[in-house]
Amino acid sequence: MHKHFLIVMSALLCIWARPSPADESARAQMKGLDEQVQEVKTDVLSIAAELNQLEEKLLYPSDTHLAVFVSLAHGETLRLDAVQIQIDGHLATHYIYSFKELDALRRGGVQRVYSGNIATGTHEIEVSVSAKLANGKDYTQTERFPFTKEIKPKSLGVMLAGPDTPQPGIHLGDW
């Protein structure tokens, strides 16, 4: 019985274990495959880059391209449920956040919530936020901002901050 115990123990703890020739061969095979997988990843990434350029050129020409990004203020604890964006009174997007996405925003990530096309000139963006505060209370806020679209791609950054922050509310940055 002791013999079995030591076998199980060694196998589970991985102490003093030396790889067998069969393990070595499997490992070499896995390593070879791993290198090929890395190469194909590089290739697919370069295809993705080219495809993105094509898509952007085809679907969002620079003359009319508008992108809206959403971020949370630094250290914000707001539990963001949803964001709705309207441009010139028309619904552009209504986004509901998952836990992972909210976590990514809290850690400083920026979400591209909308990409679209818009004519040059003056416009209005309306941002509506539904969230929960740290104390569990519902928090909703809507703000409207005018902006001008010139003959170049336009990026708008929407930064959200809860009511308990030094600069609460919805802020729009022009990028």
Partner 1 sequence: MRIRSQWLSMGVVLAAVAAQPSVAAELRDLYFGEALYRAYQGQYFDALERLDAELAQHHRVDEPELDSLQYHIRQADFSVGDFELRYRMHLRAGRAIKAVLDADVEQPVKNEAAYRLARIQFQKDQPEDALHSLERIQGTVPDNIKDDLEFLRANVYSALGRPADAVEVLKRLQGAESLKGFAAYNLGIALLQAGHNAEALRQLEKAGQIDSRVSATAAVRDKSNMVLGSLLFKSTEYGPAQLAFDRVRLDGPYSNLALLSTGWAEVTAHDYQKALVPWGMLIERDGTDAAVQEARLALPFAYSKLQVYGRAALLYGQALDAFGKELEKADASMRSIRAGKFLQALIREEINQDNLWVVRLRTLPDTPETFYLTELMASNDFQTALQNYLDLEDLHRRLLVWQDSFAAFEDLIRLRRANYEPLLPQVDAHFRELDSQMRLRLEQREHLQKRLQDILTAPRPELLATADERLALESLRKIGRALRSGSGAEHDALQARVQRLQGLLTWRLYTEYPERLTQAHKDLRDLNEDVRLLHERYTAFVRARQAAVHSYVGYDQSIKRLRTHVGEALQRVDTLLARQGQVIEAVAIDELNTRRQRLEAYQVQARYAVADSYDRALKQHAGGGTP
What is the Cα–Cα distance from 112 to 172, expressed in whole angstroms?
14
Measured CA distances, 81 to 57, 109, 140, 144 (Å): 33, 16, 10, 19
33: left (phi over 0), alpha (psi -120 to 50) or beta: alpha
In degrees, to the nearest 5, what angle opens at C-alpha 60 toward C-alphas 51 and 67? 105
Q: What is the closest distance, in whole angstroms, from the C-beta atom of residue 86 to partner 1 in the complex?
A: 20
User: Binding marks (x or -) toward partner 1, 138..157, rule CB under 8 A?
Assistant: -------------x---x-x
DSSP string for residues in 59-107: HS-TTTEEEEEEEEPTT---EEEEEEEEETTEEEEEEE--HHHHHHHHT
Q: What is the closest distance, in whole angstroms, from the C-beta atom of residue 105 to partner 1 in the complex?
A: 7
User: Binding marks (x or -) toward partner 1, 67..106, rule CB under 8 A?
Assistant: --x-x--x-------------------------xx-xxx-
Stretch that binds partner 1, among 41-49, 80-88, 124-132, 164-172 (CB under 8 A): 41-49
- Joined together, the tokens standing for residue 52 give 């993105």
- Does 13 engage in binding with partner 1 (CB under 8 A)? yes
Residue among 44 and 96 whose Cβ is closer to partner 1: 44
Q: Which residues contribute to the site for partner 1 (CB under 8 A)?
A: 1-2, 4-5, 8-9, 11-19, 22, 26-27, 29-31, 33-45, 47-52, 54, 57-58, 61, 63-64, 69, 71, 74, 100-101, 103-105, 107-112, 120, 151, 155, 157, 175
